[in-house]
Amino acid sequence: MPYAHITGWGMYVPELVLTNEDLSKIVDTNDEWIRERTGIRERHIARENEYPSTLAVRAGLKALDIANLRPTELDLIICATSTPEYLLPSTASIIQDQIGATKAGAFDLLAACTGFIYGLNMGAQFIRSGSLKNIMVIGTETLSRFINWKDRTTCILFGDGAGAFVLQASDEPGGVVSAVMHSDGSGANLLTLPVGSRFPATEESVRNNKHFIEMDGKEVFRFATRVMVQATNEALKAAGWTLEDVQWVIPHQANLRIIDSAARGLKLPLERFIINIDRYGNTSTASIPMAAVEAVENGSIKPGDKIVLVGFGGGLTWGALTAEWTGPLPDRRPVHPQRYRTLARVRSIFRRLLRFIEGIFFRREL
């Protein structure tokens, strides 16, 4: 049975930074309150012409670069997102076209902030079953588009960004070891973004703010502190590991106090947790891969390290995944995946043109 290795990683955040100080000019809040209650100092916000796919393509190409894999070699793109570019088509298909992953299937996965863990687990299962070899899993968000900037209880929390992993099959032991996924829809009302089939965009739904994130912060907090510990222990048990075996826990970055409470619950020093919430806020599905990428880049996570990813979110959903960090597979000449971006653009334009011309010549009266 092949092993599913994490062989590439990349992240991207928009340039625009919104500090707590900036927020205090928009709503009745202040830097001290936000830092003390959440650990957040600033977050990145997408500009008007930046979409989930824009961020994901940049993160994804970096991940391919590290894995030294051509986009054309990808079998599947799984895009976990809470803020899809459209309800239809999937953001994953847009990414597939823009990076030129001509052979890949593509779909979006909605499990709120737990989406990246669900996606990584699914990708690993495709590889373990032997049906696919190269998979990209992306978490990408432009949450700023769905924030009520008049609501100080939510607008201080969220930020935009993307993180991507490449999973590859190998006979060498390592990579993703175990995962647990959970859901409790009885708590669906605690964290919602109502716009959808129940509340399609109408004058009334917009007037009633149905296009903004609504949250019962206290209840979500209580739920999160409970399930972070529970899911970590379950995933460790499934892997046959104990906490002593693990070098790093990479938690969903929603609130520093939630991470702190999980650390106390697991009796693990906070230094063993990867934390970057201060600079990015809660980026939902992107938060875990973004934290992992930074930790690899600053030398904290090294090949051979055992890690646990753990997250929770709307749904309610929660889950955890264990993996042994490996890095790129050896023995390949550099393939420079970034160069494929221009080729992908030309290909996409050419295919649209072809479809247009075919339409003129072959359209039949029905």
Task: Give the active site residues.
Answer: 113, 252, 282
* DSSP one-letter code for 179: E
Distance between start and end Cα atoms, the chain: 51
Q: Is 29 in the site for ligand ACO (CB under 6 A)?
A: yes
DSSP string, 345-365: HHHHHHHHHHHHHHHHHH---
Q: Is 220 in the site for ligand ACO (CB under 6 A)?
A: yes
Q: How many residues bind ligand ACO (CB under 6 A)?
A: 22
Q: Which stretch binds ligand ACO (CB under 6 A): 171-179, 201-209, 218-226, 320-328?
A: 218-226
CB-nearer residue toward ligand ACO: 121 or 255: 255
Taking the complex as a whole, how short is the minimal distance between the CB of residue 38 and ligand ACO, in angstroms? 5
Q: Look at residue 271 and give its three-state secondary structure.
A: helix
Across the strands, what pairs with 12?
162
Q: Which residue among 4, 64, 156, 344 contacts ligand ACO (CB under 6 A)? A: 156
CB-nearer residue toward ligand ACO: 155 or 169: 155
Q: Is 100 in the site for ligand ACO (CB under 6 A)?
A: no
Q: How far is CA 159 from CA 40, 87, 260, 262, in A?
A: 10, 21, 20, 22
Q: Is 191 in the site for ligand ACO (CB under 6 A)?
A: yes
Q: Which residue among 11, 18, 113, 321 contacts ligand ACO (CB under 6 A)? A: 113
Q: 58 phi and psi, to 5 degrees?
A: -65, -45
Cβ proximity of 319 and 311 under 8 Å: yes
CB-nearer residue toward ligand ACO: 128 or 222: 222
- CA–CA–CA angle 108, 114, 120 (5° rounding): 65
Query: CA-to-CA distance for 187 and 224, rounded, in angstroms?
Result: 12
Query: CA-to-CA distance for 150 and 27, rounded, in angstroms?
Result: 6
Cβ proximity of 148 and 213 under 8 Å: yes
In total, the chain counts a number of residues equal to: 366
Taking the complex as a whole, how short is the minimal distance between the CB of residue 188 and ligand ACO, in angstroms? 12
CB-nearer residue toward ligand ACO: 93 or 253: 253
Q: Is 153 in the site for ligand ACO (CB under 6 A)?
A: yes
Q: Which stretch binds ligand ACO (CB under 6 A): 12-20, 150-158, 164-172, 232-240?
A: 150-158
Q: Is 194 in the site for ligand ACO (CB under 6 A)?
A: no
Cβ proximity of 6 and 306 under 8 Å: no
Q: Which residue among 313, 319, 328, 337 contacts ligand ACO (CB under 6 A)? A: 313
CB-nearer residue toward ligand ACO: 66 or 191: 191
Q: How far is CA 140 from CA 10, 132, 210, in A?
A: 12, 23, 22
Query: CA-to-CA distance for 270 and 259, rounded, in angstroms?
Result: 8
CB-nearer residue toward ligand ACO: 134 or 255: 255
Q: Which residue among 123, 251, 281, 314 contacts ligand ACO (CB under 6 A)? A: 314
Cβ proximity of 31 and 24 under 8 Å: yes
Q: Is 256 in the site for ligand ACO (CB under 6 A)?
A: no
- CA–CA–CA angle 20, 164, 176 (5° rounding): 120
Site for ligand ACO in 260-299 (CB under 6 A): 282, 284
Q: Is 148 in the site for ligand ACO (CB under 6 A)?
A: no
Task: Determine the residue with CB nearest ligand ACO.
Answer: 313
- 80: which 2 tokens? 């976990």
By the criterion CB under 6 A, which residues form the site for ligand ACO? 29, 33, 37-38, 112-113, 152-153, 156, 191, 215, 217-218, 220-221, 224, 254-255, 282, 284, 313-314
